[in-house]
Structure 1
Amino acid sequence: DFKRVSSIYLASDKRGLNMLEREYDIRRKHGLPVGFLDAGTLFSTHHIEGPGALKNREAAQMDCYKAATGLLKHHIKKSGLSLFSHTEIVEYKERRGGYALLTGDGMTIRCKYVVVAAGFEAGKFLPRRVMNLISTYALVSQPVEPSQLWPERCLIWETAQPYFYMRTTLDNRMMIGGEDVEFRNPERRDRLLRWKIRRLEKKFKGFYPEIPFVVDMAWCGTFSSTDDGLPYIGPWPGRKRMFFALGYGGNGITFSMIAAQLIKNKLKGIKDERENVFGFER
């Protein structure tokens, strides 16, 4: 379910426009593909009223669950990967030459290296908290005719905080979301769902009032973010055999690839300057 589509990073206000102008200059400086849409061009090409936007044609969307399970199945078949799902690690001990991990079923796993890629649940492996928990909300519409969807079916994300985003699916539904708030407990997060549904519907109508949006499914969840918006990748200082691949901030697909490259280089003894960008000591 991988499909190449364009993306629009939309300025929500004048402050957002100033930020996008700086972002545009930086991307151009480093040779990254990007275009700038002023208010007139934004409306004529995408039917959105706004002060401006960045447009990137080198973007894509995919089904993340299918992608993750597909990669696992590929390596189980090709590389003999052993996968033990629903296996909780309740305790770990550092030992000479590696680690011993104790499972909830009382089994012990001995290994030379450990890579922790458990998102916000990685806290039990960290000496201190490094992330903030955020509650987020999303809706999916009933299918519509393809002709009713917005131009290019592009991915749209705005600069406002809390943000709003929208995309389409292969079966001609619309997925919208955002309205993030600080996580306190699951009960409070879930109680806000009905109110967040109304707010997200209203935001969508502000962009495309002519497109029929009938909610088919709605849900909420929790993810992690960091103060600087970057992931944490690499070993915790003093733990040379325990690596972390924590793609906090909602960009896990991109950061997971960086993490794979960086940790592989570390294991092979190859110097990687990105350690300074994504490490715990930054």
Structure 2
Amino acid sequence: DLALDPRRLTSGFLNAAIERGTRVYAPTEITDVDSGSDGITATTANGRTIRAGAIVFATGYELPRYVPKRRHRVMSTYAIATVPQKQKPLPEDCFIWEASDPYLYLRSTPDGRVICGGEDEEFSDDEARDALIPEKTEAIRRKLGKMLPHIDTTPDFAWAGAFGSTPTGLPSIGAVPGLKNAWAVLGFGGNGITYSRIAADIINAALAGKSDPDADLYAFAKTRAVR
């Protein structure tokens, strides 16, 4: 995996796409999608339509109504960024992720902070999630202090977020059942950078009428079949 600025990365992708002829509609809410053998018609909240040969739902943890929701769940997660440390907090640039449940992950930043997170909860209500930020902040800070007792764990920033998950830990990537010319890339969990690259290969092959050797691993039937 790697560290990056998500806003700069997204902006870079959008600008590169625009330079290649992509038309961007933003902010735009799609309220309905009709599919047929000749393509897709998407209707916006203000009644306008967008025509395309195909559609890819890449809506993160929010599953559109066209996508099977069985076995998918939305989780809440928490994180902090400490004050800048007087000395380098880790001997080298690295990511640390505990192989446990509950888990803790952490990394250092170029300006000497430590970003640390975890303490996931199995609910998606944003008010209930955010109400737990003070409690979760203290829990993360306490665990971080035990792991790295030499650092100042005082949080400069604390936040919460949501992510999609499946029982297998794998995302859903592939054709949307019952909707022609429609694909989806959803439920990446905490591995968005890795899975988004895999999704790009799978969807690109599908749109070109080809098959990707990994496509069957992430198809909707696979994520739904787990007991």
Q: What SS is found at the alignment partner of 1:136?
A: strand
* Counterparts of 1:92 and 1:231, CA distance in 2: 23
- The corresponding residue for 1:200 is 140
Where do 4+ consecutive residues of structure 1 move more than 3 Å? 127-130
Q: Following TM superposition, by how much is the alpha carbon of 1:85 offset from its aligned partner in structure 2, in angstroms?
A: 2.0
| Structure 1 residue 89, shift from structure 2 partner | 0.6
The question of whether the paired residues in 2 share the 8 Å contact of 1:148 and 1:211 is answered with no
2:149 maps to a residue whose letter is P
Figure out how many residues of one structure are paired with residues of the other and give that number: 222
Identity, % of aligned pairs? 38
Q: Is there any run of 5+ residues in structure 1 with no aligned partner, and where?
A: 1-58
How much does 1:241 deviate? 0.5
Q: Distance in 1 between matches of 2:168 and 2:106?
A: 24
Amino acid at match of 2:16: H
State the superposition RMSD in angstroms: 1.6
Matched, 1:141 2:106: no
Please identify the structure whose Cα radius of gyration is greater.
Answer: 1
Deviation sequence 1:197-232 (CA, Å, 0-9, x none): 000000100111111122111111111101100011
What is residue 9 of structure 2 aligned with on the other side? 67
CA displacement 1:18-46 (0-9 Å, x = unmatched): xxxxxxxxxxxxxxxxxxxxxxxxxxxxx
Aligned to 1:21: none
Alpha-carbon distance in structure 2 between the residues aligned to 1:211 and 1:142? 10
Query: Contact conserved, 1:116 with 1:244, CA < 8 A, in 2?
Result: yes
- Deviation readout 1:38-70 (Å, 9 max, x if unpaired): xxxxxxxxxxxxxxxxxxxxx532222221221
In structure 2, stretches of 5+ residues that fail to align are 223-227
Indicate which of 90, 115, 125 corresponds to 1:175.
115
1:118 aligns with one of 56, 59, 62: 59
Following superposition of structure 1 onto structure 2, how do residues 74-223 of structure 1 map, counting pairs within 5 Å? 74-77=16-19, 79-145=20-86, 147-223=87-163
Per-residue CA deviation, residues 103-150 of structure 1 (Å, 9 max, x unaligned), is 1121111111001100122332314444111000011112123x3311
For residue 273 of structure 1, report the CA deviation from its aligned partner: 2.3
Asked if the contact 1:234–1:262 (Cα under 8 Å) also holds between the matched residues in 2, the reply is yes
Matched, 1:250 2:165: no
Query: Taking CA–CA contacts closer than 8 Å with sequence separation of 6 or more, which of the two structures ends up with the larger relative contact order?
Result: 2
Q: State the secondary structure of the residue aligned to 2:221.
A: coil
Offset of 1:280 from its aligned partner?
0.9
Q: Which residue of structure 2 lines up, in the alignment, with residue 264 of structure 1?
A: 204
Q: Does 1:241 align with 2:186?
A: no
Q: Which residue of 1 aligns with 2:225?
A: none
State whether residues 83 and 152 of structure 2, in contact with CA within 8 Å, keep that contact through their aligned partners in structure 1: no
Structure 2 contact 36–181 (Cα < 8 Å) conserved: no
Within 2, Cα distance between the matches of 1:81 and 1:220?
A: 33
Instruction: State the one-letter code of the partner of 2:174.
Output: G
Q: How far apart are the structure 1 equivalents of 2:35 and 2:21?
A: 27
Distance between the aligned counterparts of 2:94 and 2:167, measured in 1? 29
Task: Answer whether contact 1:163 1:178 (CA < 8 A) is retained.
Answer: yes
Q: Which amino acid aligns with 2:42?
A: L
Return the offset for 1:234: 0.9
Return the alpha-carbon distance in structure 1 between the equivalents of residues 130 and 138 of structure 2.
14
